[in-house]
A and B are shown apart, each in its own frame.
Chain A
């Protein structure tokens, strides 16, 4: 079995990290909103919700880190500098890698932003 995926040629990889951010955001928001609306449904305390957010945050950050590493590889581990504007397949790939790497960085920060409220809030106050 292959642990690290092969390099693939598609536009979609560009969006990996932001999609992880979006999924993480939705899970945190829906999870917390559900808990606050129907606390009896799960029967757990708010600290369990916070622990859950911590767990999905770690998963999301790892996925983004993986996407960043794949992007770094696609970028040729940074051997070439931007702007990657030659009319070649190679430069096109390097550009994709670099842009994906940048987006992974932004998504990483944004996931941490999203998770931070769980550090400070200890109950469902309205």
Chain B
């Protein structure tokens, strides 16, 4: 009898496993590339980012060859400009930021005990956008069309078409496209970390990697949008001659510097924190003990995240701002050393209290931190305005930033590569090659970059393509070049170690380093992430919950099956990770690739002013996204609840703040609101720099402005009413309200357009009409999107996909309208009333 039950349960177990495997399987053949699995996307993403890094590294070697000896003519001045611009741009935008998104997409689901990220198709979209944008930007150098005005693109040089050519457009549009990808990744990460942790993984048990990534994703939301706003202004100036940065017509190049560095400085920490997050996983494993001072790490991550936003002006110390402004930023720049130092001390304490195993990952990690500390110390030096005035734009700064970024980011990432490689292949990388690579890289780095401190102090400016002999820079530069090549040799050893065939090596055990965190129970051969979703009771579940790995892999925990043939994961509560919903996520699809490629095509066509092609690509992208939403989101499940195992039954549908979609909308709109705030900042910035910032030009009509604001408020009210009536089941009323709101929005937009139109404001004449127009266009574009959403909800209602109980679409759209209301009211109040009030 019991033997029969055992046999049956074994059969049942096999059947469950087969179903689960089939559901999560990757497509075969060329369709493999339509996969949206986090494992694949993470792998492609990081491989692409690494390839871009090697490309940018090769450019650096060319530059070092050119600078090796004085009066060299190996590279032309123009090519040198393109090389350093592309080197910085690619390293920052195509390697440092995306590599962490890649690693996070790869690692987070298994680490949190989740099957997938909450929006796998968004992750795939993000990857394809990044990949296409990256190829476009990198490829430009082969046509001698690469950007050449420095990675921060300062106007007036970069706005001057004669000096900067098409390269600046490639930079602006290519990178805007990649910034979209970053924000998509941020949405995915925040929702994933807040809502998709394994049951029981309370916030005090969350792996530190997740803490860091949560903070970093939040930082992206506030750091990237100012740059997107800046890109918009910049491209309007280049394309249509709106004088945002042209001093002759009231503009100011400094506004670009503000917007760029509000992005640029937090970005340094957006790069640094995830790398440190890898260290926070590696150090406990190789000290074979829990981290000392978990809460202190959380303090450091959150503290750095905030303080890093108070540093941007320290890139502008030499621009003649009032000294008191400089001093505020100098003070914050000193203060950020406190949380940064805390993390280092936490790592040291963990190592001191454990038994340290000096493996290859630890070697890279500690070596990198040593380099980073040196860079941090020179950072404290240049954070002092008087010292910065001496060192500004010299090789001292070049040395400082490479010490910070290579020590604080590249070395820990290589440490992470050696540590996590067994998750990809079930085999370790070679220890011998790893150590060789480390010593080559460590020595090469210091030989290459330390002398730059000295050449900088001897007055060598950045970005010069050559220099005369006899001013005392030649031998320092020669040493730097030698060091750079030793460093590159080390990198090549790592590349060789990763690429060499390993099929003859035996498969390693599942958790080769005896680590304590959940990612080490996932089997590289399987695509399902975890066989079943465990209940977590410790920060290091594999150390403290002895039977966990067996129970998970025997399918004894949550969701061991896929009866309905759908990809499913759990949604849990934010603080205590109580299971609250079963989330069905999208599977392999072409639509992500089509959307990303068509969006990319629109950006590329825009670069070359091919208007028809731009419009066609944009329409394709629009249709693809609508198709994606219609077929892939807000689906009404076949039953309200589902048994997830262990005697628990959970709902399959949620809307409003309980749903992950609502959070995604909220997070996206926070980013969007930040971009809008940056434009408003621009408006007031122009007001402060001029005695009369209207330059005597008649401002927008106050009546039209007021009317627009009122109509937008009315449209918003109708949307809120629609949501309310929908919940009461008054379907016909809801449809009527949606139509009424749509028409009101159109009327509001017309009134908004009339505000600057009726007095005949010409945006090319002066910066005042230009900034007014850009604010109005911002609102109108959002209103247009708002009407699409209203029409979409109407269509969903007519198609029976939006019902009183299943109102996720409507509730997300109303959330969008909350933000739109604020945007519209602020805009029209400012443009209509502020000039009169002054």
A: which residues have CB within 8 A of B? 9-11, 14-15, 18-19, 21-22, 25, 28-29, 32-34, 36-38, 82-85, 87, 89, 91-92, 94-96, 98-99, 102-103, 106-107, 109-110, 113-114, 116-118, 120-121, 124-126
> Which residues of B are found within 8 Å of A28, using beta-carbon distances?
328
CA–CA, A34 and B322, complex, Å: 10
- Residues 279-309 of chain B: 1 if any A CB is under 8 Å from the residue's CB, otherwise 0? 0000000000010011110110011011101
Q: Is A91 within 8 A of B204, CB to CB?
A: yes
| Among A15, A32, A102, contact of B295 (Cβ-Cβ < 8 Å) | A102
> Which residues of A are found within 8 Å of B303, using beta-carbon distances?
18, 103, 106-107, 110
Q: Is A117 within 8 A of B302, CB to CB?
A: no
CA–CA, A37 and B290, complex, Å: 53
Partner-binding segment picked from B270-278, B334-342, B721-729, B774-782: B334-342
The number of residues on chain B lying at the interface, defined by a beta carbon within 8 Å of a beta carbon of chain A, is 45
Q: Is A83 within 8 A of B203, CB to CB?
A: no
| Among B203, B307, B537, B539, contact of A110 (Cβ-Cβ < 8 Å) | B307
> Which residues of B are found within 8 Å of A37, using beta-carbon distances?
688-689
CA–CA, A103 and B293, complex, Å: 14
CA–CA, A14 and B295, complex, Å: 12
Smallest Cβ distance from B601 to chain A, in angstroms? 39
| Among A83, A113, A125, contact of B294 (Cβ-Cβ < 8 Å) | A83
> Which residues of A are found within 8 Å of B335, using beta-carbon distances?
109-110, 113-114
- Residues 318-358 of chain B: 1 if any A CB is under 8 Å from the residue's CB, otherwise 0? 00111111011111101100110000000000000000000
CA–CA, A102 and B306, complex, Å: 14
CA–CA, A110 and B309, complex, Å: 13
CA–CA, A28 and B335, complex, Å: 16
Other contacts beyond A32-B324, A114-B310: 5, CB < 8 A: A89-B576, A92-B205, A99-B299, A110-B335, A117-B331
Q: Counting CB contacts under 8 A, is B200 at the interface?
A: yes
- B309 nearest in chain A by CB position: A22
- Residues 551-579 of chain B: 1 if any A CB is under 8 Å from the residue's CB, otherwise 0? 00000000000000000000000111000
Q: Counting CB contacts under 8 A, is B659 at the interface?
A: no
Q: Counting CB contacts under 8 A, is B202 at the interface?
A: yes
| Among A9, A33, A36, A120, contact of B575 (Cβ-Cβ < 8 Å) | A9
Q: Is A114 within 8 A of B575, CB to CB?
A: no
> Which residues of B are found within 8 Å of A15, using beta-carbon distances?
302, 306
Known: A85-B205, A116-B331, A117-B331. A99 touches B295 (CB 8 A): yes
Q: Is A126 within 8 A of B332, CB to CB?
A: no
Shortest beta-carbon contacts, A-B, top 7: A117-B327, A95-B204, A18-B306, A102-B299, A87-B537, A36-B322, A37-B688
> Which residues of A are found within 8 Å of B329, using beta-carbon distances?
29
> Which residues of A are found within 8 Å of B309, using beta-carbon distances?
22
CA–CA, A33 and B324, complex, Å: 8
Q: Is B688 within 8 A of A102, CB to CB?
A: no
Q: Counting CB contacts under 8 A, is B536 at the interface?
A: yes
> Which residues of B are found within 8 Å of A106, using beta-carbon distances?
299, 303, 338-339
Q: Is B322 within 8 A of A124, CB to CB?
A: yes
CA–CA, A79 and B310, complex, Å: 35
> Which residues of B are found within 8 Å of A99, using beta-carbon distances?
295, 298-299, 302
Smallest Cβ distance from B195 to chain A, in angstroms? 12
Known: A11-B575, A21-B306, A113-B332. A85 touches B321 (CB 8 A): no
| Among A84, A89, A103, contact of B302 (Cβ-Cβ < 8 Å) | A103
Q: Counting CB contacts under 8 A, is B511 at the interface?
A: no
> Which residues of B are found within 8 Å of A11, using beta-carbon distances?
194, 203, 574-575
Mostly helix, strand, loop or mixed at chain B's interface?
helix
> Which residues of B are found within 8 Å of A126, using beta-carbon distances?
320-323
Known: A11-B203, A15-B302. A87 touches B321 (CB 8 A): no
Q: Is A98 within 8 A of B295, CB to CB?
A: yes
> Which residues of A are found within 8 Å of B296, using beta-carbon distances?
102
Interface residues of B in 162-202 (CB under 8 A from A): 194, 200, 202
> Which residues of B are found within 8 Å of A92, using beta-carbon distances?
202-205, 575-576
- A10 nearest in chain B by CB position: B575
Smallest Cβ distance from A123 to chain B, in angstroms? 9
CA–CA, A95 and B299, complex, Å: 11
CA–CA, A99 and B298, complex, Å: 7
- A37 nearest in chain B by CB position: B688
Smallest Cβ distance from B81 to chain A, in angstroms? 31
Smallest Cβ distance from A87 to chain B, in angstroms? 4
> Which residues of A are found within 8 Å of B655, using beta-carbon distances?
none
> Which residues of B are found within 8 Å of A109, using beta-carbon distances?
335, 338
| Among B200, B204, B290, B334, contact of A96 (Cβ-Cβ < 8 Å) | B204
> Which residues of B are found within 8 Å of A114, using beta-carbon distances?
310, 328, 331-332, 335
Known: A11-B575, A102-B299, A109-B335. A85 touches B204 (CB 8 A): yes
Q: Is B322 within 8 A of A87, CB to CB?
A: no
CA–CA, A29 and B316, complex, Å: 14
> Which residues of B are found within 8 Å of A22, using beta-carbon distances?
306, 309-310
- B689 nearest in chain A by CB position: A37
> Which residues of A are found within 8 Å of B330, using beta-carbon distances?
117
> Which residues of A are found within 8 Å of B576, using beta-carbon distances?
89, 92
Between-chain CB contacts (< 8 Å), 12 pairs: A10-B575, A11-B575, A22-B306, A22-B310, A29-B329, A32-B324, A95-B294, A106-B339, A107-B306, A109-B338, A114-B335, A121-B323
Q: Is B328 within 8 A of A25, CB to CB?
A: yes
| Among B294, B302, B310, B338, contact of A14 (Cβ-Cβ < 8 Å) | B302
Q: Is B538 within 8 A of A85, CB to CB?
A: yes
Known: A84-B295, A85-B290. A124 touches B202 (CB 8 A): no
> Which residues of A are found within 8 Å of B321, using beta-carbon distances?
33, 126
CA–CA, A77 and B332, complex, Å: 30
Q: Is A83 within 8 A of B290, CB to CB?
A: yes
Q: Which residue, B202, B320, B536, B539, has most C-beta atoms of chain A within 10 A?
A: B202
- A88 nearest in chain B by CB position: B202
> Which residues of A are found within 8 Å of B205, using beta-carbon distances?
85, 87, 92
Known: A114-B331, A117-B324, A121-B323. A18 touches B302 (CB 8 A): yes
CA–CA, A33 and B575, complex, Å: 41
CA–CA, A28 and B807, complex, Å: 45
> Which residues of B are found within 8 Å of A118, using beta-carbon distances?
324
CA–CA, A83 and B330, complex, Å: 34
> Which residues of A are found within 8 Å of B538, using beta-carbon distances?
85, 87
- Residues 722-759 of chain B: 1 if any A CB is under 8 Å from the residue's CB, otherwise 0? 00000000000000000000000000000000000000
Smallest Cβ distance from B211 to chain A, in angstroms? 10
| Among A29, A89, A91, contact of B325 (Cβ-Cβ < 8 Å) | A29
> Which residues of B are found within 8 Å of A85, using beta-carbon distances?
204-205, 290, 294, 538-539
Known: A87-B538, A89-B576, A92-B203. A36 touches B325 (CB 8 A): yes
CA–CA, A6 and B182, complex, Å: 38
| Among A82, A84, A89, A117, contact of B328 (Cβ-Cβ < 8 Å) | A117
Interface residues of B in 598-655 (CB under 8 A from A): none
Q: Is A96 within 8 A of B203, CB to CB?
A: yes
- B291 nearest in chain A by CB position: A83
Q: Is B324 within 8 A of A36, CB to CB?
A: yes
> Which residues of A are found within 8 Å of B539, using beta-carbon distances?
83, 85
> Which residues of A are found within 8 Å of B322, using beta-carbon distances?
32-33, 36, 124-126
> Which residues of A are found within 8 Å of B306, using beta-carbon distances?
15, 18-19, 21-22, 107
Smallest Cβ distance from B175 to chain A, in angstroms? 27
CA–CA, A83 and B540, complex, Å: 13
Q: Is A113 within 8 A of B325, CB to CB?
A: no
> Which residues of B are found within 8 Å of A10, using beta-carbon distances?
575
CA–CA, A90 and B266, complex, Å: 34
Q: Is A87 within 8 A of B536, CB to CB?
A: yes
- B204 nearest in chain A by CB position: A95
> Which residues of B are found within 8 Å of A25, using beta-carbon distances?
310, 328, 332
CA–CA, A87 and B302, complex, Å: 23
> Which residues of A are found within 8 Å of B688, using beta-carbon distances?
33-34, 37-38
> Which residues of A are found within 8 Å of B327, using beta-carbon distances?
116-117, 120-121
> Which residues of A are found within 8 Å of B307, using beta-carbon distances?
18, 21, 110
CA–CA, A106 and B303, complex, Å: 7
